[in-house]
Structure 1
Amino acid sequence: MVNIELTRVEGDFGFEAKDSNGHVVRMDSNPESGGKGFGARPMQLLLMGMGGCAGIDIVSILKKQRQIVEGFDMKIEGEREAGVEPSLWKTVNIVFELKGDIDIDKAKRACALSMDKYCSVAETLRKSGSNITWDVRVTTPEPAISAS
């Protein structure tokens, strides 16, 4: 069982959530509804959680394939339903940007395994009706040139 403690600590809508290991996440509402910029919005945290979930999967898969991941970035964009409550994520697009000695086909396969099979957050979003798309980019570092 997971245990989370949530405490209001800043203004009307500034909350801190703490897990059983003491890790803290700050949340706040948007400024239009009285938020003060204290933390991320809860719906943004859902996309962040998906990014973390997928990132862990992908790096783990690539390491097992003996791929050298020197850098890993993600760009995640989402659009929510307009004019309805609750307003769910309608579309989510992710660009996985990997750097290192990585075979592009292995990178694509690792991303597909994460997004289609292993990432529970992505599946949660999909089951709520989100259309999730993604792309992979791999940058291979230039070989070092030795000076003569």
Structure 2
Amino acid sequence: MATIHIKRVDDAYAMEASDTNGHSLRMDAAEAIGGHGSGIRPMQTILMGLGGCGGIDILSILKKQRQEIDSFEMVVNGERETGKEPALWKHVHIQFSFSGKVDLDKAQKACALSLEKYCSVAATLRTAGCSIEWDVEVK
């Protein structure tokens, strides 16, 4: 079982979440609803989790294939439902970028394996009706 502790840290909506290892993340509401914009919006943490989960899988797969990765980055864009409460993620696009001695076919297959089979965050989003697409480039 995972345990996360969350505490309010200001007089509005800012909160700090921490895990049992002492890692923390600050969250806050948008200024439009009374937050101070001093942290990540909670729904954005889901996209961060998707990127982190997928990234760990992808790097693990490519390391096992002895690919020489000099750099690895991704940009995750998400679109939420409009006019609904709660407003779930309806579409996510990820742009994966690699540099080094990385075979494009292997990188594409690693991304597909992660997002279609191994990544629990991707599976959670898909179960909620979100579509996930991605592109891969090797520089």
- Aligning the two structures, in what range does the TM-score lie when normalised by the shorter sequence? over 0.9
CA distance in 1, matches of 2:20, 2:102: 36
Query: Are residue 61 (structure 1) and residue 52 (structure 2) matched?
Result: no
Do the aligned residues in 2 keep the contact of 1:69 with 1:102 (CA within 8 Å)?
yes
After TM superposition, the structure 1 = structure 2 runs for residues 1-148 of structure 1, keeping only pairs within 5 Å, are 1-139=1-139
Aligned to 1:144: none
Q: Kindly report the root-mean-square deviation, in angstroms, between the aligned alpha carbons of the 2 structures.
A: 0.6
Deviates more, 1:2-11 or 1:59-68: 2-11
CA distance in 1, matches of 2:123, 2:52: 14
Runs of 5+ consecutive residues of structure 2 not aligned to the other structure: none
CA distance in 1, matches of 2:14, 2:65: 43
Would you say how many aligned residue pairs link Structure 1 and Structure 2?
139
Aligned residue type for 1:96: F
TM-superposed CA distance for 1:105, in Å, is 0.4
Runs of 5+ consecutive residues of structure 1 not aligned to the other structure: 140-148
TM-superposed CA distance for 1:10, in Å, is 2.0
CA distance in 2, matches of 1:67, 1:31: 44
TM-score, normalising length: structure 1: 0.92
Spell out structure 1 runs of 4+ moving beyond 6 A: none
CA distance in 1, matches of 2:75, 2:96: 7
DSSP-derived class of the 2:70 partner = strand
Aligned residue type for 2:43: M
Identity of aligned residues (%): 57
TM-score, normalising length: structure 2: 0.98
